[in-house]
Structure 1
Amino acid sequence: MSIANDYLSMDKQPELWRGDFAEYLELLLRNPQVARSAHALLYDAIIAKGISLGQDDQPPVYGAFEDEVFGIDEPLSSLMKALHAGAQGLDIRRRILLLMGPPGSAKSTIATHLKRLLEQYTRTPAGAVYAIAGCPMHEDPLHLLPYSAREKLYEDTGVHVEGELCPVCRYHLEQGEGTWASISTVKVEQITFSEQRKVGIAAFAPSDPNSQDISDLVGGVDIVALQKYGVESHPLAWRFDGTLNIANRGIAELIELLKSKSELQFSLLTLAQERQIKAPRFELISADEVLLAHTNEEEYRRFVSDQKNEALQSRTYVIKVPYNLKWSAEEQIYTKMMGNYLNSHIAPWTLKAASGWALLSRYEKLEKYSPALKLKLYDGQFEGEYRPAHLREIRELSPRDGMFGISPRQVVNALSQAMAASVDHCLTPTDALKALRESLDHHTGAENKEKRDELLSAVGTIRAEYDKWAKETVSRAFIAAFESSAQNILVRYLDSAEASVREDKLKDPVTGEWVDPDEKLMRSLEDLIGVSEGSKKSFREELLVRVGAMARHGKDFRWDSHPRLKEAIEQRLFADLQGTIRTTLSNKVPDEEQKKKLEVVKDRLKQQEGFCDHCSSAILDYVGYLLEKGN
């Protein structure tokens, strides 16, 4: 039972404050922050998770989204700027925040995460929210204050009170019974937001136009209570349980807002601009909530092209949410989405292959920059002549990058089917590329020949990148089988470097003769890692200093101790061993010596590269095939 109690206690509600309005005022005077607006509450909930300032011209990274959405830091930064302005009481809080982008670009993920974030935050002392007890809209207790008292409160605390009591609370106060006999005795309670319990968080989604009406947003008549109170305009005969009522003090998610009936869209005008809800037969009802909507680009275009929507357009703040454009971030998306396959293995570079293919479909064509080059520059891989300035130019020349292309959902559909069909319970890059190529029959838009050819070409582009990586990975693994050869190259280099720096000769270990340093060997390694002729001496001196420092601490300097030199030795050794590797991998019936080397290579792949038995054999077979073809 103790184990069961551990699980059950995880959903235990925190102990919540309860008191009367007079006690709440004392609490407020000690900590004016408890009177935050909905925008300020949401902004603080996000900031509480931490923020890392971006380098150079990069946007900040918010800890609240770090493990949830990937590669769309700029849209998140735009959203945070809007929330920050709203939190300061500026006019942007009177707007519908509209996330607009292609399907699968994480719009609903952002909205869902913000709702969960608010739920968690209001369960903490820092996120405490207080409401009039029993109010169906969980409204701000400060609505009880008369205007004269509100002015004094602002002078004393800087808290600006907006809004009036809802019809239910006003009715109770006018009746003056029990705890409602005076303002000071009205009960106030701390609340925690919950979408399930309909407190502070709600979502509205369009449905059948014939059955959906305004009651979905602002509530409707309570038939049972109507029999008691006689008229629909009686506050207690009305259910204040619409989306906008429930979301008061928190956030209302408006799913695919522009697909809903225009009458329902226009009901948001008053709420957005005046921060009031209009329910039939009632006066305007004050509400404070973040209106967060999302829609796709096609719906948005139709919306802005219709002049009848001009009033709503002026009350909408649009935030573009394109598909992610960064290779490493796209891989993170699939890692998260494919995380449910606990009994299966995903080989290294598999998700990277799928990610690259999806990204290539999202780039506009440019003469100066190929899609393959964009793939690397967007990911911050600035090699050779390319610098961040080139990426800025790409953004200017192709502003619609990410607003079209393959959705992550489509990629995961293909990968999931391939994973389920795998008898080895392992998905390799070649499996993934094959599955993505075959999935074109199920992609809407791929029936267009030009589009289909582009997607097939993208498969070829990614396969070329994979071929390069596969050969490099296998070569590194082979080097482990020839580690003594790598160490010998290092020893020869260090001996020659030491003699070169001293401007001396060195003794040949075989003949015993005094010979000149092997300048050819040294330069062949240094050229591989970009050490110029002019800087070779300083590089060698720095290296010898490191060797001496490690020796003083009782450590051996090995062939892989210096990252740059290690890279050069690997390349040199791979060039020397290519024939051996080709022979070993292409031999259908390897001899005992070759079998031993292959086992060493497979162990290296499994222990250091993350391969399993199946995919380590698969990559060796594949690289053998490439080398046999002469690729």
Structure 2
Amino acid sequence: MSDGTETLAELSAEYQASIPEDLREPRSFEWYLETLETDPAVARAAHQRVADMFDYYGAEYDEDRGVVEYELASEDPLHDGEHTFYGRVVHEAIHEFVNKVKSGARGLGPERRILLLLGPVGSGKSAFDAQLRRYFEDYTMRDAGRMYTFRWTNLRDVIEDQDPADDTVRSPMQQDPLVLLPQAQRDTILEQVNEALDAPYTIRNEQNLDPESEFYMDELLAHYDDDLQSVLDNHVEVVRLVADENKRRALETFEPKDKKNQDETELTGDVNYSKIAVYGESDPRAFDYSGAFCNANRGIFSGEELLKLQREFLYDFLHATQEQTIKPRNNPRIDIDQVIVGRTNMPEYKDKKGDEKMEAFNDRTKRIDVPYVMAYEDEAEIYRKLLGNADVPDVHVEPHTLEMAGLFGVLTRIEEPDADTVDVLQKAKAYNGEGDALEDVDVKKLREEAQAAAAVGEGMEGVSPRFIGDEIAEAIMDSTHRGRDYLSPLTVFSFFEENLEHHGSIAEERFAEYYRYLERVREEYRERAIEDVRNALAYDVEEIQRQGEKYMDHVMAYIDDDTVEDDITGAESEPDETFLRAVEEKLDIPEDRKDDFRQEVSNWVSRRAREGEAFDPTDNERLRRALERKLWEDKKHNINFSALVSANDLDEDERTKWVDSLMDLGYSEEGAREVLEFAGAEVAKAELEDE
């Protein structure tokens, strides 16, 4: 082994250290009762354990939004952020999901419901569900999440016809050891457990033993003259239960198949035909507890595309939710304890919602909307994560590329607002939290109006992140094949335009609308590209500082109805209204709103002064942008924009200087040259139109 590479012995030691100490060490029932005295949470029900899991990995309350962000989703500490979730609406959905789990933990009703994740394709339903299962596996490996079950031992010592292969039998439903006690004695133990429990819920357990375990208990009690202690001492071992999806233990994923190849036994279990010859058909030992509900007991049942199941399969969920039991064919009812999560898309939901025969099922579901991300910078983070998790070629992603891709996606998802108040692009910017867009925009009202107007909810339709991510990937590979070492928004736009109509989930009647949105995104990128070139060609920090100080001197004089003293001559003069408006018009501030803006900036300066901070116009986003644009306006007439388009018309040293300035803003060298040419052509065209 070379230096820095772990040896097999080190890897083995690392693996052993990760395994709970008591994973393979059986304990006595007496030990379990003693453990409950010091750690009563060990006996938690499934909803209680899952609820505590979310808090265990960290949570932070966002007071402004009234939402708890759970770090297993927002940070993904187990995987170094590989599976993080982005977007306000997504974290609101997760917050709602956890609230329902926590309500179920308290016995308020959701423990008897299906938690149905409803959303469009690619909205993150499956990813969150998978994240939930990954963390539950990890949580049950830790002391904080540990749980136990039991196994029957030495059965052949008492039961004469017991198959030698079944001398030791693990609890088929991996039940909590407390179910071995009769209800009256169990309640006495639980009363003591709850007195010692530091939790917002009460631990209850009213389950019956599964039929096979009940058979063994009856046989053993008869042998020991109802001496329960002898049964527990001689024939029961308590073992650690760790959730494991691959082993179908306390975690199960169930998905629909063709009706001819699927029946309800996949949910509830079936006869074990190999045991019929040993025990007989009606013997409870001849049942195979391999149904999805059986495997998920004590943990999480995950129903993929749940509403695609045939109606007769969904009937099994009625008992599983409301009564928390399952009824296998030709067998008695079996108690279950699990968080039942379902996932579905809009078409199936609408179909089942309108089916009167599904009223009972619909009444047992708690719908949780998982819409698309609605802030384009959050959407850009999704693509950035995808690229970060992949083996991306050596291609530089230029500034604005992912953001503009995200903006296109968001525009297709939000409800068109009332054009008299705000247009769709301004709404997207307001949802993104941009200061300029928020001026005179009531974001809360926009959301409420959109929710009322949308068929199901805003963000439940539109272009999926998968489509956009696929086109970004295609654009990257195309750039690689063409020998380009950068990816720009212009390239991504081209792929959107070429492939939009090839996307199977986009209705034909939406194409024209989506092309219109794509043009709006092009226009937005044009403004941003020009802004970047403006900074590269004309940005002057000292001049912005001077102009900012001049602006504030004249604003303060205007507010105080005073005069301004010239720094050189000392002469007094009225505030320069022409200069003030030249700055404010760069932010499209109308004449009748100038006083509000001036007062706002004045208050900002006064507040900073009280905090002992010097005036710096670049610290105020809106003022900085206005001054930058005015400086550009003052200088642009001295720049030959047409020369930017042609390499032959511009001195290479000057071009290199500008390229270097753009590279300081995050561009690659070739990307900087492209944006210089693009912005130069756009500005030159605008200059000609203004003449």
Q: Give TM-score, length-normalised by structure 1.
A: 0.87
Alignment partner of 1:161 is 2:181: no
**1:110 is matched with which residue?**
128
Specify whether residues 7 and 516 from structure 1 end up closer, same or farther in structure 2 by C-alpha distance, changes over 3 A only: farther
1:145 to 161, 181, 185: 181
Specify whether residues 602 and 313 from structure 1 end up closer, same or farther in structure 2 by C-alpha distance, changes over 3 A only: same
2:56 to 48, 60, 65: 48
Indicate the RMSD between aligned Cα atoms, in angstroms.
3.5
Q: Offset of 1:296 from its aligned partner?
A: 1.4
**2:161 is matched with which residue?**
none
**1:553 is matched with which residue?**
none
**2:492 is matched with which residue?**
432
Q: Offset of 1:36 from its aligned partner?
A: 0.9
CA deviations over 1:286-343 (Å, ceiling 9, x no partner): 1100110111121122223223222222222222222222222222222223332532
2:526 to 441, 449, 467: 467
Alignment partner of 1:624 is 2:668: no
2:119 to 81, 87, 101: 101
Name the CA distance, whole Å, in 2 between partners of 1:146 and 1:361: 59
2:292 to 240, 243, 257: 243
Greater Cα offset, 564-573 or 186-195: 564-573
Name the CA distance, whole Å, in 1 between partners of 2:605 and 2:248: 70
Specify whether residues 304 and 519 from structure 1 end up closer, same or farther in structure 2 by C-alpha distance, changes over 3 A only: closer
**2:166 is matched with which residue?**
none
Name the CA distance, whole Å, in 2 between partners of 1:294 and 1:361: 23
Give 1:20-419 correspondences, 5 Å limit.
Answer: 20-67=28-75, 68-71=84-87, 72-133=90-151, 134-158=170-194, 159-176=203-220, 181-184=230-233, 186-227=236-277, 229-339=278-388, 340-343=390-393, 344-368=395-419, 369-381=422-434, 382-399=437-454, 400-419=457-476
Specify whether residues 274 and 106 from structure 1 end up closer, same or farther in structure 2 by C-alpha distance, changes over 3 A only: same
Specify whether residues 234 and 348 from structure 1 end up closer, same or farther in structure 2 by C-alpha distance, changes over 3 A only: farther
Q: Offset of 1:275 from its aligned partner?
A: 1.1
Q: Is the 8 A contact 1:256 1:295 kept in 2?
A: yes
Greater Cα offset, 385-394 or 179-188: 179-188
Name the CA distance, whole Å, in 2 between partners of 1:354 and 1:222: 54
Specify whether residues 443 and 540 from structure 1 end up closer, same or farther in structure 2 by C-alpha distance, changes over 3 A only: closer
Specify whether residues 353 and 275 from structure 1 end up closer, same or farther in structure 2 by C-alpha distance, changes over 3 A only: same
Give 1:434-453 correspondences, 5 Å limit.
Answer: 434-444=494-504, 446=506, 448=508, 450-453=509-512
Please tell me the residue identity of whatever aligns with 1:433.
F
Specify whether residues 600 and 175 from structure 1 end up closer, same or farther in structure 2 by C-alpha distance, changes over 3 A only: farther
Q: Is the 8 A contact 1:16 1:191 kept in 2?
A: no
SS at match of 2:504: coil
CA deviations over 1:202-221 (Å, ceiling 9, x no partner): 10011121111223212333
CA deviations over 1:256-275 (Å, ceiling 9, x no partner): 11212322221222211111
Name the CA distance, whole Å, in 2 between partners of 1:396 and 1:320: 12
Please tell me the residue identity of whatever aligns with 1:410.
F
Name the CA distance, whole Å, in 2 between partners of 1:127 and 1:121: 5
Q: Offset of 1:163 from its aligned partner?
A: 0.5
Specify whether residues 277 and 497 from structure 1 end up closer, same or farther in structure 2 by C-alpha distance, changes over 3 A only: closer
Name the CA distance, whole Å, in 2 between partners of 1:504 and 1:259: 74
State, as a whole percentage, how many aligned pairs show the same letter. 28
Specify whether residues 518 and 338 from structure 1 end up closer, same or farther in structure 2 by C-alpha distance, changes over 3 A only: farther
**1:600 is matched with which residue?**
657
Q: Offset of 1:54 from its aligned partner?
A: 2.9
Name the CA distance, whole Å, in 1 between partners of 2:404 and 2:110: 42
Q: Offset of 1:442 from its aligned partner?
A: 0.8
Q: Is the 8 A contact 1:173 1:180 kept in 2?
A: no
SS at match of 2:261: coil
Name the CA distance, whole Å, in 1 between partners of 2:538 and 2:655: 11
Alignment partner of 1:571 is 2:629: yes
Specify whether residues 534 and 308 from structure 1 end up closer, same or farther in structure 2 by C-alpha distance, changes over 3 A only: closer
Please tell me the residue identity of whatever aligns with 1:190.
R
SS at match of 2:637: helix
Greater Cα offset, 166-175 or 3-12: 3-12
Q: Is the 8 A contact 1:428 1:615 kept in 2?
A: yes
Specify whether residues 214 and 559 from structure 1 end up closer, same or farther in structure 2 by C-alpha distance, changes over 3 A only: closer
Q: Offset of 1:489 from its aligned partner?
A: 5.2
Please tell me the residue identity of whatever aligns with 2:427.
K
Specify whether residues 629 and 275 from structure 1 end up closer, same or farther in structure 2 by C-alpha distance, changes over 3 A only: same
Name the CA distance, whole Å, in 1 between partners of 2:326 and 2:600: 75
Across the two proteins, how many residue pairs are aligned to each other? 615
CA deviations over 1:145-175 (Å, ceiling 9, x no partner): 1122123123323332220112332233334
Q: Is the 8 A contact 1:525 1:565 kept in 2?
A: no
Specify whether residues 506 and 317 from structure 1 end up closer, same or farther in structure 2 by C-alpha distance, changes over 3 A only: closer
Q: Offset of 1:252 from its aligned partner?
A: 0.6
Q: Is the 8 A contact 2:272 2:287 kept in 1?
A: yes
Q: Offset of 1:506 from its aligned partner?
A: 5.1
Alignment partner of 1:478 is 2:537: yes
Q: Is the 8 A contact 2:265 2:329 kept in 1?
A: no
| Long gaps (5+) in structure 2 | 76-83, 152-169, 195-202
Q: Is the 8 A contact 1:47 1:64 kept in 2?
A: no
SS at match of 1:122: helix
Name the CA distance, whole Å, in 2 between partners of 1:348 and 1:451: 29
Greater Cα offset, 597-606 or 466-475: 597-606
Alignment partner of 1:612 is 2:672: no
Please tell me the residue identity of whatever aligns with 1:232.
E
Name the CA distance, whole Å, in 2 between partners of 1:360 and 1:27: 56
Specify whether residues 217 and 377 from structure 1 end up closer, same or farther in structure 2 by C-alpha distance, changes over 3 A only: same
SS at match of 1:130: strand
Q: Is the 8 A contact 1:201 1:251 kept in 2?
A: yes
SS at match of 1:380: coil
SS at match of 1:19: coil
**1:16 is matched with which residue?**
22
Name the CA distance, whole Å, in 2 between partners of 1:537 and 1:65: 38
Q: Is the 8 A contact 2:409 2:464 kept in 1?
A: yes
Please tell me the residue identity of whatever aligns with 2:467.
Q
Name the CA distance, whole Å, in 1 between partners of 2:544 and 2:415: 45
**2:199 is matched with which residue?**
none
**1:554 is matched with which residue?**
none
CA deviations over 1:456-498 (Å, ceiling 9, x no partner): 1011111111111111122122245x55655665787799999
Please tell me the residue identity of whatever aligns with 1:140.
D
